Amino acid sequence: MRPLKLTAIPAMADLLPCVEIEPATPATASVIWLHGLGADGHDFEPVVPALNLPAELAIRFVLPHAPLLPVTLNGGVEMPAWYDIMRLGEERQFNRAQLILSAQQVQALIEREIARGVPSHKIMLVGFSQGGAVCYHAGLSYSGPLAGIVGLSTYFPTFDTVVANQAQAGIPVLICHGTLDSVVPITMGRNSRRNLEHMGLSPVFRTYAMAHTVSPDELIDIAGFIKQCLGSTATPT
């Protein structure tokens, strides 16, 4: 596999600033990968080569930076966040309007990828923790068919309000969760699976003996899922 080219993309208009990792050949597929609370787009940068994906997939990885927001759980101090969280626990309190705005910003990144020549059915969303919650909302409500959604150590807080677009009927979803996660307990991941099933989807659910992090075995599963979703050359009808 040839080395990937890394470029930092500044903010443009209303687009989120991103780190981008380009394939060795012109991109024909894209993965938009959202980090968790307090991190930034560089957080999953080392993961991309660790996935060891075939060069012929020609995937551009887009790793956006969340905006700085006052976070109630952090005493109101600003930190990178996709939305404010006021209370933890399975029934956690969060700023729904901020989450939806972040989802719309992710959809704007999808539109940019399409404008750059990548069709929507070759675009995947991946998100860790807060980023995964945003990906569920952004992906399921997007108007064009997407390749898939991956939720890592995350939950689905807007399941009761999101309006799923018919374009996402049957979209592949992979849920990965640690059995030792004390930040987002595994019950929240199981609830996400159940809520997605109630929406008519068939998510794949994988668990790992880990806390709120990412494991090597998990990366193998993520890589396999990406190859499955982006390896096809067929155009959805």
| CATH code, domain with 182 | 3.40.50.1820
> Across the chain, where does the E strand assignment appear?
5-9, 18-22, 29-34, 59-64, 68-70, 78-80, 85-87, 93-94, 123-128, 148-152, 173-178, 204-208
Q: Report pLDDT for 89.
A: 65
pLDDT tens digits, residue range 135-161? 999 999 999 999 999 999 999 999 999
Q: Would you say residue 66 lies in a domain?
A: yes
Containing structural domain, residue 190? 5-230
pTM: predicted TM-score of the whole model, two decimal places: 0.92
Q: Is residue 237 part of a domain?
A: no
Catalytic residues, by residue number, are 129, 181, 212
Residue 197: name the closest of 162, 159, 228, 230 by CA.
159
What is the residue whose two structure tokens read 């991309």?
48
Task: Output the pLDDT for position 92.
Answer: 75
Q: Is residue 113 part of a domain?
A: yes
Q: And the tokens for 80?
A: 């990178």
pLDDT in tens, the chain (237 residues): 333 444 444 444 579 999 999 999 999 999 999 999 999 999 999 999 999 999 999 999 999 999 999 999 889 999 999 999 988 766 678 999 999 999 999 999 999 999 999 999 999 999 999 999 999 999 999 999 999 999 999 999 999 999 999 999 999 999 999 999 999 999 999 999 999 999 999 999 999 999 999 999 999 999 999 999 998 655 554
Counting the structural domains of the chain, the total is: 1
Instruction: Provide the H-helix boundaries in 64-184.
Output: 96-115, 130-141
Residue 84 lies in a domain: yes
pLDDT number for residue 127: 98
Q: Residue written as tokens 């029934």?
A: 91
pLDDT at 3: 38
Q: Other C-beta atoms within 10 Å of 90: how many?
A: 10
Dihedral over Cα of 183, 185, 191, 193: its sign: positive
Residue 91 falls inside a structural domain: yes
Q: Is 79 helix (H, G, I), strand (E, B) or coil?
A: strand
Helix boundaries (H) for 124-164: 130-141
- Does residue 94 lie in a domain region? yes
